[in-house]
Structures are given as C-alpha cells and as structure tokens.
C-alpha cells in the first residue's frame, strides 16, 4: 500500500471556505480535495495533516472532530508571505484498531520528513505525538522533543498508550532515538513529585508555568533546540481555550502560545509540529479552534522568517571564549551576525561529535553568556555536557 492510501481528502473544503474577494490561506494552500487527485509535493515546505482519532483520549473523545473545525478558521486567515508553499494532504484514515492509525500516521510523517517537508499535525488526542516520534525512528534520526503541556504525560509502564501516558512509551521505546525532552509550562500542583524526579533523573528539562511566563524570551532557546514540538491545548488557560475537557483556570495566555509557535517556526532545526486535544463540542463560539488556527499561522510566519544560521562555519558568527574557574574546560559561545542568537559549544570527542553533531551546539541566550562571565556554569551547558559525557 502506498502511503497516500492512508489519507482521506478534505471533502468539506468548499463548506469550510467562505466567499470573499481577497487572497487568504484557503486560496493559496494546495488542498487534497478529491480521491485519486493527490497534489504534487515538489517544492513544498509545509504539509498540513489532520488526524481524526481520539480513542486514546480517556475523557476528551470529541477531539477527533478538530481537524476540519480548525481548518474552517485557518483557511480564512491572510498570508503575509506571497511565496508560501504549503499543501493540505487531508486526514489520516482511522484504522480498524488504534495501532493501525498510529502506523498510518507514522508512515505518512516519515515520508514527509524524508522529503524535507515539515508536517503540521492537527489532532486528535495527544498520544498521536508517539506516532510523530516513531516517524523519526523510521528515518533513524536522534531528536529533541519540546512538549508544551500543563502536565507530564507519563503513566504506568504497563499502561496502554493514551493521551496521559504516551511520553512513557517514547522514553521506553527501543531502539531509542530520543536525546532530550523538554516540558514547557507544567503546573506544579498537577505533577506527581515522583514524575518530576523521573524527568530530572533522566536529565530531561522541565520548566513550570510561572518560571516560563516570567521571561518568555528564555523560551526561544528551549524551542530552538527541538526537532519536534507538540502542544496540548490544555496548556492554555480555560478563558482563552475552553474547548478541552481538561481545560484549567491557569495556563498560558493565547498570545503566549502563539509566541512559542512562532519561535518553533523560526527554528532551523525543528522539522515537525503538532497541536492536540481541541474539542469543538466544548468550544465557545469557535474560540479554541480559532486560537489553534492562529497558532498554526504564527508557526508558518516564523518558518518563512528562518535565518538558516545554525553555527556550522565561522564566517557569520562572533566567537566568545570564556575561561571559567568553575570548570576545567573553556566555554565557547557563538553569536549569529544574522539574528543575534546565541549558541554554546559543548567540548566532546570527535567520535561523539560524529554521532551527536547537532547536540554539541546548544542554543542559549545572552543571559547564559553573562552567567559564564560571572564564573558560573549555565544550566543549559551543564545538562547537555552530562548527557554527552
């Protein structure tokens, strides 16, 4: 079976698009609308993929209705780049069993990643991020994941995969292609202390909501280090995103998560993006679906503002060497002349560099450079150093 056979066309496209006289996303995105007429993927940058699957959403079953509900608003937004090259390849066919859907989604995403096309996944429940991870196994790529969520989706090891346990499946999956996991926005009173200890013992990163909101600029290096990002809409406060069974009084504001999505789009390293758990049946006047559409808009806007400035040469960078009494190795920082973004280099052997080439340059901030200048070791540097060594 060809991977295209796993996809259903967006048959409701004409119903979703309102008549107008100005060019909007719905006019310039190439859309798979008719069986047997799959669009060409030549010279495509981004592919929208819907997944109408919610069997593993224990208490949010109607989130399988989200893909078309979000499209309704996305197609109406105005593009600000005249040269966008985006295709909507429709919805993954719902498998007879849940693992069938996982396999179909993983196969489609693997094909897109192989073609260097960035999938934007509209779920569906958050366990579908597990299929996103498996797509990287298929292309044998070691990755970093950023998870924007109010909780850690770590269940019991013997528990079946669901929207509250899928991270365990990723962590324990063999062969393992996960280098780092970063949670952004968890709320401490929702977190089992044992779960937090597990995250820390694995040398993964977890940044609670209050810390992140204190300085949103510091989120950018966290996101810039990711290959894959997933956003659970429950990370946004109920007043901004009511369309979710697990919506909470506290969380990110809508503009916060749009900002995070734009950072993700701007990252030269990030190659897949997904948003999950949107429940149209609980939504108020389409507020959550409209926010999801705007989140995707910001991701696309960020993508077309990429600088392609990962530090692989010395011509376009300023190099700063900080000698530290706190550690035997000098700390080498790189600042891009294109974007003023910072990286810090992790000293390691040529053998490790060969295997973990993209992990040896850690995105950081100007504050990390100032920390090193104060004879202190930045946390970002130390955590990656411990992993590589």
Q: What is the DSSP string of 308-365?
A: ---SS-STTEEEEEE--SSSSSPEEEEEETTT--EEEEPP--HHHHHHSGGGSEEEE-
Residue 271 has pLDDT above 80, yes or no: yes
Greater model confidence, 83 or 243? 243
Q: What is the mean pLDDT of residues 101-120?
A: 97
Residue 23, pLDDT score: 85
Q: What is the mean pLDDT of residues 12-21?
A: 61
Are 187 and 324 within one domain? no
Residue 360, pLDDT score: 81
Are 193 and 328 within one domain? no
Last residue of a domain, one of 269, 303, 337: 303
pLDDT digits (tens, 9 = 90+) for 207-260: 999 999 999 999 999 999 999 999 999 999 999 999 999 999 999 999 999 999
Lookup result for tokens 């899928």: 166
Residue 1 has pLDDT above 60, yes or no: no
- Domain around 17: 3-303
pLDDT digits (tens, 9 = 90+) for 317-351: 899 999 877 676 788 999 998 899 999 988 876 66
Residue 24 lies in a domain: yes
Contacts with 335 (C-beta within 8 Å, 6 or more apart), sequence order? 317, 318, 319, 320, 341, 342
Last residue of a domain, one of 247, 272, 303: 303
Mean pLDDT lowest for which of 203-207, 225-229, 381-385?
381-385
Are 129 and 27 within one domain? yes
Average pLDDT, the chain: 90
Are 175 and 261 within one domain? yes
Residue 348, pLDDT score: 77
What's the total number of domains in the chain? 2
Residue 134: φ, ψ to 5°? -60, -25
Residue 69 has pLDDT above 60, yes or no: yes
Are 254 and 360 within one domain? no
Are 289 and 353 within one domain? no
Are 341 and 219 within one domain? no
Give whichever of 20-24, 167-171, 220-224 has the largest mean pLDDT: 220-224
Are 274 and 375 within one domain? no
Are 129 and 229 within one domain? yes
Last residue of a domain, one of 280, 303, 326: 303
Q: Which band of pLDDT confidence, cut at 50, 70 and 90, is reported for residue 312?
A: low
Residue 269 has pLDDT above 80, yes or no: yes
């Amino acid at each position: 079976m060809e991977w295209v056979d796993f996809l259903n066309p967006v048959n409701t496209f004409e119903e979703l698009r309102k008549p107008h006289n100005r060019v909007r996303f719905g006019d310039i995105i190439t859309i798979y609308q008719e069986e047997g007429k799959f669009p060409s993927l030549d010279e495509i940058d981004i592919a929208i993929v819907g997944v109408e699957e919610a069997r593993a959403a224990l208490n949010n079953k109607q989130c399988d209705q989200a893909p078309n509900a979000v499209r309704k608003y996305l197609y109406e937004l105005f593009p600000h780049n005249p040269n966008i090259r985006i295709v909507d390849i429709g919805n993954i066919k719902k498998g007879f069993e849940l693992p069938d859907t996982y396999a179909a989604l993983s196969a489609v995403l693997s094909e897109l990643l192989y073609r260097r096309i960035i999938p934007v996944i509209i779920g569906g429940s958050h366990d579908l991020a597990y299929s996103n991870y498996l797509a990287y196994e298929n292309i044998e790529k070691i990755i970093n994941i950023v998870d924007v969520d109010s909780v850690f989706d770590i269940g019991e090891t013997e528990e079946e995969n669901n929207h509250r346990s899928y991270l365990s499946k990723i962590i324990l999956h063999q062969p393992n292609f996960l280098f780092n996991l970063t949670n952004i926005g968890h709320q401490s009173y929702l977190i089992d202390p044992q779960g937090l200890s597990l995250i820390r013992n694995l040398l993964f990163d977890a940044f609670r909501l209050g810390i992140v909101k204190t300085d949103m600029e510091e989120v950018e290096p966290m996101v810039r280090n990711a290959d894959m990002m997933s956003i659970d809409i429950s990370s946004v406060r109920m007043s901004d995103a009511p369309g979710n069974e697990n919506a909470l009084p506290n969380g990110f504001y809508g503009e916060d998560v749009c900002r995070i999505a734009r950072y993700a789009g701007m990252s030269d390293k990030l190659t897949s993006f997904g948003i999950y758990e949107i429940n149209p049946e609980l939504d108020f006047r389409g507020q959550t679906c409209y926010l999801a559409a705007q989140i995707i808009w910001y991701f696309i806007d960020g993508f077309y503002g990429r600088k392609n400035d990962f530090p692989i040469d010395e011509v376009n960078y300023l190099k700063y060497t900080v000698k530290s009494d706190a550690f035997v190795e000098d700390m080498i920082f790189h600042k891009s002349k294109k974007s003023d973004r910072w990286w810090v280099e992790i000293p390691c052997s040529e053998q490790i560099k060969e295997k973990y080439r993209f992990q040896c340059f850690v995105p950081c901030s100007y504050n990390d450079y100032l920390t090193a200048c104060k004879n202190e070791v930045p946390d970002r540097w130390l955590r990656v150093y411990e992993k590589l060594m």
